[in-house]
C-alpha cells in the first residue's frame, strides 16, 4: 500500500511539473529581431539585404539588380547547407492530396474571414515592440524634391510612437542615391497566439455546422390524392 501511495505521489508531482512546463512554454515570450539594409546608386544599381530571427530560426536574404535572390536558413545556430535547403523546401511545400484540399476548403468555407482577421488584430496584444530604428540617407538631383522629402519625414517622425525612431540624413550633392537601414526588436508569445486563434476556429466550426440536406420532394399523382 505504501508503495502504491509513493508511486501515486511521484506521478502527481511529474504531472504537475509537466503542466507547469507547458504553461511556461506557452506563455513565455520569444524574441523577434529584424535587420535590413538597402542601397541605391546613381548608376541605377541597387542591393537589398536583411534578416530576421525568431527563437531558434533565422532567415537571411540578399537581392541585387542583375543577381538572383539568395536565401540562407539557420536552425539552432547552425546553417542549413544550400544543398539540403531545396530538399527541405520541397518537403514543406510538397503537393497536397486532393482529399486534403477538399477538406481544407470545406473548413475554410465555414469560417468568417472578417472575424478571423479581427481576431488576429486582437491578438496583437501578445506582440510588444521594444524598438525600431530606421535610418534614411538620401539625395536627389532635384534639390526641391530632397527638401520636400525632408519636410515629409520630419512631420512623420513627430507622430510616430516613442519606440519607433526615424532618423534622416539628407545630402545635397545633386546625385540620385539613397540608403535605408532598419533595426528592430520585439517580443511575442507565438504559442499563446496560436492557442487563442485555434480556439476561435474551433468555436466557429462548432457553431456553424452545415445545414442538413433536405429530403427529396415526393410528387404524388393526382389519382392518389383524395
Query: Per residue in 24-56, pLDDT tens?
Result: 555 667 888 999 999 998 888 899 999 998 878
pLDDT interval class at 220 (50, 70, 90) = very low
Domain assignment present for residue 103? The answer is yes
In a domain, 71, yes or no: yes
Q: How far apart are CA 95 and CA 72, in angstroms?
A: 23
Residues 193 and 114 in one domain: yes
Asked whether residue 225 is assigned to any structural domain, the reply reads no
Between 112 and 20, name the one with better pLDDT: 112
Check whether residue 121 and residue 202 sit in a common domain.
Answer: yes
Q: What is the pLDDT of residue 6?
A: 55
Verify that 88 and 148 share a domain, yes or no: no
User: Domain range holding 67?
Assistant: 46-94
Instruction: Tell me if 18 is assigned to some domain.
Output: no
Helix (H), strand (E) at residue 188: strand 177-188
How far is Cα 177 from Cα 48, in angstroms, rounded to an integer? 14
Shared-domain flag, residues 65 and 112: no
Same domain as 136, residue 121: yes
- Average pLDDT of the chain is 76
User: Which tens digit of pLDDT belongs to each residue from 96-105?
Assistant: 677 766 767 7
Query: According to the model, what pLDDT value does residue 166 have?
Result: 93
190-207 vs 2-27: helix crossing angle, rounded to 10: 100
Q: How far apart are CA 50 and CA 71, in angstroms?
A: 10
Residue 14: inside a domain, yes or no? no
Answer yes or no: do 163 and 196 share one domain.
yes
Residues 76 and 107 both lie in one domain: no
Domain co-membership, 100 together with 155: yes
Question: pLDDT tens digits, residue range 85-96?
Answer: 555 555 555 666
- The predicted pLDDT at position 219 comes to 47
pLDDT in tens, 164-214: 999 999 988 888 889 999 999 988 887 777 777 788 777 777 776 554 454
Where do we find the cell 542549413? Answer: 80
**175 and 76 inside one domain:** no
Long-range contacts at 23-29 (CB < 8 A, ≥ 24 apart)? 25/191, 26/189, 26/191, 26/192, 26/195, 27/189, 27/192, 28/189, 29/128, 29/187, 29/188, 29/189
Half-sphere exposure at residue 68, Cβ-oriented, CA atoms within 13 angstroms: 2
Same domain (yes/no): 67, 154: no
Residues 118, 195: one domain?
A: yes
12 pLDDT band (50/70/90 cuts)? Answer: low
Q: Which of 56, 79, 94 is the last residue of a domain?
A: 94
Question: What is the number of domains present in the chain?
Answer: 2
Strands 164-170, 127-139: pairing is parallel
Share of the chain above pLDDT 90, in %: 21
**Region 127-134 average pLDDT:** 89
Amino acid at each position: 500500500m505504501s508503495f502504491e501511495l509513493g508511486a501515486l505521489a511521484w506521478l502527481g508531482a511529474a504531472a504537475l511539473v509537466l503542466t507547469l512546463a507547458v504553461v511556461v512554454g506557452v506563455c513565455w515570450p520569444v524574441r523577434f529581431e529584424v535587420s535590413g539594409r538597402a542601397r541605391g546608386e546613381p548608376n541605377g544599381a541597387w542591393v537589398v539585404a536583411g534578416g530576421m530571427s525568431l527563437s531558434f530560426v533565422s532567415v537571411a536574404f540578399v537581392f541585387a539588380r542583375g543577381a538572383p535572390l539568395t536565401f540562407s536558413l539557420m536552425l539552432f545556430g547552425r546553417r542549413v547547407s544550400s544543398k539540403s535547403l531545396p530538399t527541405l523546401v520541397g518537403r514543406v511545400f510538397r503537393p497536397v492530396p486532393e482529399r486534403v484540399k477538399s477538406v481544407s476548403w470545406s473548413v475554410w468555407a465555414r469560417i468568417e474571414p472578417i472575424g478571423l482577421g479581427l481576431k488576429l488584430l486582437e491578438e496583437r496584444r501578445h506582440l510588444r515592440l521594444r524598438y525600431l530604428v530606421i535610418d534614411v540617407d538620401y539625395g536627389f538631383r532635384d534639390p526641391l524634391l530632397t527638401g520636400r522629402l525632408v519636410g515629409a519625414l520630419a512631420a512623420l517622425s513627430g507622430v510616430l510612437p516613442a519606440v519607433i525612431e526615424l532618423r534622416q540624413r539628407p545630402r545635397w550633392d545633386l546625385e540620385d542615391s539613397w540608403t535605408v537601414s532598419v533595426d528592430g526588436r520585439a517580443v511575442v508569445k507565438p504559442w499563446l497566439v496560436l492557442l487563442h486563434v485555434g480556439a476561435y476556429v474551433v468555436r466557429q466550426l462548432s457553431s456553424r455546422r452545415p445545414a442538413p440536406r433536405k429530403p427529396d420532394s415526393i410528387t404524388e399523382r393526382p389519382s392518389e390524392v383524395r
